[in-house]
C-alpha cells in the first residue's frame, strides 16, 4: 500500500507517519520510485505499537524509542531485556541513594515473605516501596496476611500471562510491554467493579 493507505489502515496521519520514518521509529517502505514507497502489514503493526506507547501508555517519543530499540534488538538475554523494557514504562521512580545499604526495606521484606526472585534495580521494587509506605502513612498498612493474599493471587495471573508469551523474542518484548502497560488499567477497573459486585450481594442497608 502507499503511505495514504497506510494512514487509513493505521489511523495515523500521513504527516505523523513521515515524522516516525524520519526519526527511524518506523522502518522504511520498499521504494517504488524516487518519491514513492510501498508499505505492508509490518508497518501497520509497528504504527499500532508506536501509537499505543505514545497514546494510552503516555510515553514521549524519546521514551517510546528506548522500548522500540529493545523490541528491534532483544539480544540474547531475553530475561534482562524484558526487565529493561518494563522498567522503561511509567511510573518513573527515582534511583536509590547508592550509599543506602537497604533503600527498599518494605519491598524487600514483602518479596522475601512471598519468596520471590527479584532484582533490586528493577523499578517495580522502588514502586512497591513507595506504595507500601503510602499505605502505612495513611494508617492502612498492608498486613502480612493481605500481602500473601494479594501476592499469591497476582503471581497466578503472572504465570497465566507468561504462559501465553509468544516464543519469538521480538514478539515477546512487544507482548510484555503492551500486556503490562495496557492491561494494568483493565485490572484496576475490574477490581473496582468486582468490589461493586461483591458489595451488591452483601446486605449493606438501603
In angstroms, give the least distance from the CB of 99 to a second copy: 24
In angstroms, give the least distance from the CB of 133 to a second copy: 9
In angstroms, give the least distance from the CB of 172 to a second copy: 8
In angstroms, give the least distance from the CB of 26 to a second copy: 15
6/110 with CB nearer a second copy: 110
Q: Scan for cell 509468544, then name that residue.
A: 166
13/134 with CB nearer a second copy: 134
18/183 with CB nearer a second copy: 183
Calpha distance 47→32 (Å, rounded): 21
18/155 with CB nearer a second copy: 155
Residue 49 CB: number of other CB atoms within 10 A? 18
**Three cell numbers, residue 110:** 514483602
With contact defined as beta carbons under 8 Å apart, do 91 and 127 qualify? yes
Q: Which of 18, 19, 24, 23 is CA-nearest to residue 2?
A: 18
Please state, in angstroms and as integers, the Cα–Cα distance from residue 87 to each residue in 48, 57, 183, following that order: 21, 13, 16
In angstroms, give the least distance from the CB of 49 to a second copy: 7
Calpha distance 9→48 (Å, rounded): 10
Beta bridge partners of 30: 38
18/195 with CB nearer a second copy: 195
Amino acid at each position: 500500500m502507499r503511505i495514504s493507505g497506510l494512514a487509513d489502515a493505521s489511523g495515523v496521519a500521513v504527516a505523523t507517519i513521515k515524522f516516525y520514518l524520519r526519526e527511524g521509529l518506523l522502518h522504511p517502505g520498499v521504494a517504488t520510485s524516487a518519491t514513492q514507497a510501498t508499505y505492508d502489514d509490518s508497518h501497520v503493526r509497528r504504527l499500532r505499537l508506536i501509537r499505543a506507547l505514545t497514546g494510552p501508555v503516555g510515553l514521549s517519543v524519546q521514551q517510546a524509542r528506548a522500548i522500540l530499540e529493545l523490541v528491534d534488538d532483544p539480544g540474547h538475554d531475553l530475561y534482562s531485556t524484558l526487565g529493561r523494557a518494563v522498567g522503561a514504562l511509567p511510573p518513573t521512580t527515582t534511583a536509590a541513594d547508592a550509599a543506602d545499604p537497604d533503600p527498599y526495606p518494605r519491598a524487600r521484606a514483602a518479596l522475601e515473605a512471598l519468596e520471590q526472585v527479584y532484582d533490586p534495580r528493577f523499578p517495580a521494587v522502588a514502586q512497591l516501596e513507595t506504595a507500601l509506605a503510602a499505605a502505612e502513612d495513611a494508617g492502612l498498612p498492608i498486613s502480612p496476611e493481605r500481602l500473601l493474599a494479594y501476592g499469591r493471587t497476582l503471581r497466578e495471573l503472572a504465570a497465566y500471562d507468561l504462559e501465553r508469551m509468544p516464543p519469538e523474542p521480538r514478539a515477546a518484548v512487544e507482548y510484555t510491554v503492551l500486556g503490562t502497560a495496557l492491561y494494568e488499567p483493565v485490572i484496576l477497573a475490574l477490581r473496582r467493579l468486582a468490589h461493586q459486585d461483591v458489595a451488591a450481594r452483601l446486605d449493606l442497608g438501603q
